[in-house]
Chains A and B, each alone.
Chain A
């Protein structure tokens, strides 16, 4: 038996995952202080409004649940060594399909309608993910760009459908019709939107953890993500770990959209997802793509975003800062502040 090497505490390893949330948080505080007319009050609302009562607490947890499901999908593709930047479009199209299917099936039994809606929403996302994965496998097309572009195009197409053919002419919003009361997911903590999807999210994260770290297939996926050549020489059929992670990732994003439609929005309104997909990428990156670390990361981002909408509502803060929050997270997250690396280790196109 080899003697175990005594492990010394490496500060960079402990500190670097915390840099991004800390930097994002400090930047937000600085911006709020600079812009707000009453900074202390605004900061107080920013920090406490997400937990001030059942309504906000429930909604924050509900949003965190959606982020966990979507971020699990995003991180699966990261773990397989690729990028899925199409979360936003996959979720949005999931919301749209789930809404349309649940309304179409509303004359049948509620169980059938809900199951049908969730299946249809998930499959829409899965189809979009599969396109990027297949193109990557077949022709090595850049997955990061294809998933982003497909998502951007689909967002406009969904926008077209809800403005025109599928729109609700009776509503003053640009939206589809509302989902009937009977088909909406039951609220755990009324009046907040917290529902079964939060529990599903935790279960998905745990299953994902078991898959990734306790099964042979998960090991193969991680190996082909770390080094494709090494995986090939170890006898892993790497082509399976290109399309399928993308398919599952799209499926999870579509599922996020279905849950959001049946449990949160109850319709597909214009731009209703408003950046959930981008936040999920931020969550996955903050959680270092680890299935269980994604949970606290989702709570952090959900808290920040709820606080940001809280100050818009209550302190008359003039604008939504969440795109800037996402931007800060993305800037800091892959930056390396401690390690000095040599030449030749950058990803190229």
Chain B
């Protein structure tokens, strides 16, 4: 049971820690969902083609980072609204996965892993667990983490100290790209296949975890564990209550919506005080 929860939590932890960096520097990346999707796709396709799981992982990271870089380019270089370009990245990921699965894998749809990628899912969980102390240290005790947070609080401060806030925005988005690529690969590894809509709202749940965790890595981590437990419990009880699978697909969005509403209501109350 515990093992199952940690395995379920792995993609959440990876994606939300990645998103946390972008949120801290004031440019929240809502394309986590698309990045996970594209990561999962390339992880399976490249590992099938080359027979190497490591190459599959690298491809997942590269594809997801590339998507993050495109988002960053439009948002920071051309000053597009980051939410609209994040949305564009989600649509692009979905469109490209359809295109490439038609070109590379005839027939598209579900792609089974031909390598022993399923055996590597332990690696991902261990990596996610190691990420907690690492991100906690980087965010709280390194100049990089400090400047990231300052970029979010007041970019003018960085600007007038001769430090480019854009550098921190670009790298934060890149971090989210790398981690979401790994998250996608971990998801594909656990299932042992790529299925359309494999991310099924996990990127959005990861965004909620950031809010629920008050933008602190340790609490974000705990929120991810909470969501993973809820998901395991839902899967486990599904047999008893007979809740239809299509309604379960709606749950991540409804949970995200309620948490967001509660957080904003609480924030409003504390502001008024």
Residues on A facing B (Cβ under 8 Å): 35, 83, 85, 135, 138-142, 144-146, 149-150, 152-157, 159-160, 163-164, 278, 285, 318-324, 326-337, 341, 343-344, 346-349
In the complex, which residues of chain A have a beta carbon less than 8 angstroms from the beta carbon of B26? Answer: 348-349
In the complex, which residues of chain B have a beta carbon less than 8 angstroms from the beta carbon of A341? Answer: 79
Which residue in A149, A156, A326, A328 is a CB contact (below 8 Å) of B256? A149
In the complex, which residues of chain B have a beta carbon less than 8 angstroms from the beta carbon of A330? Answer: 84-85, 87-88, 91
How far does the alpha carbon of A85 sit from the alpha carbon of B83 in the complex, in Å? Answer: 11
In the complex, which residues of chain B have a beta carbon less than 8 angstroms from the beta carbon of A145? Answer: 30, 207, 256, 260
Please report the number of residue pairs spanning A and B whose Cβ atoms sit closer than 8 angstroms.
143
How far does the alpha carbon of A330 sit from the alpha carbon of B87 in the complex, in Å? Answer: 7
How far does the alpha carbon of A4 sit from the alpha carbon of B155 in the complex, in Å? Answer: 40
User: Are A83 and B83 in touch, CB under 8 angstroms?
Assistant: yes
In the complex, which residues of chain B have a beta carbon less than 8 angstroms from the beta carbon of A156? Answer: 246-247, 249-250, 253
User: Are B79 and A331 in touch, CB under 8 angstroms?
Assistant: no
Given contacts A335-B85, A341-B79, A343-B155, 16 further A-B contacts (CB under 8 A): A140-B264, A159-B246, A159-B249, A160-B247, A164-B246, A318-B102, A321-B99, A324-B95, A324-B99, A327-B95, A331-B70, A333-B84, A334-B85, A335-B74, A346-B79, A349-B23
Q: In chain B between 102 and 119, which residues have their CB closer than 8 angstroms to a CB of chain A?
A: 102-103
B176 shortest CB reach to chain A, Å: 15
In the complex, which residues of chain B have a beta carbon less than 8 angstroms from the beta carbon of A324? Answer: 91-92, 95-96, 99
User: Are B260 and A149 in touch, CB under 8 angstroms?
Assistant: yes
Q: A139-B264, A336-B78 known; A153 and B87 CB under 8 Å?
A: no
User: Are A323 and B95 in touch, CB under 8 angstroms?
Assistant: yes
Q: Does B94 sit at the interface, judged by CB under 8 A?
A: yes
The 9 closest A-B pairs by CB, nearest first: A330-B88, A323-B95, A156-B250, A335-B78, A327-B92, A324-B95, A153-B253, A327-B91, A160-B246
User: Are B249 and A347 in touch, CB under 8 angstroms?
Assistant: no
Q: In chain B between 218 and 273, which residues have their CB closer than 8 angstroms to a CB of chain A?
A: 244, 246-247, 249-250, 253-254, 256-257, 260-261, 264-265, 267-268
B260 shortest CB reach to chain A, Å: 6
User: Are A164 and B80 in touch, CB under 8 angstroms?
Assistant: no
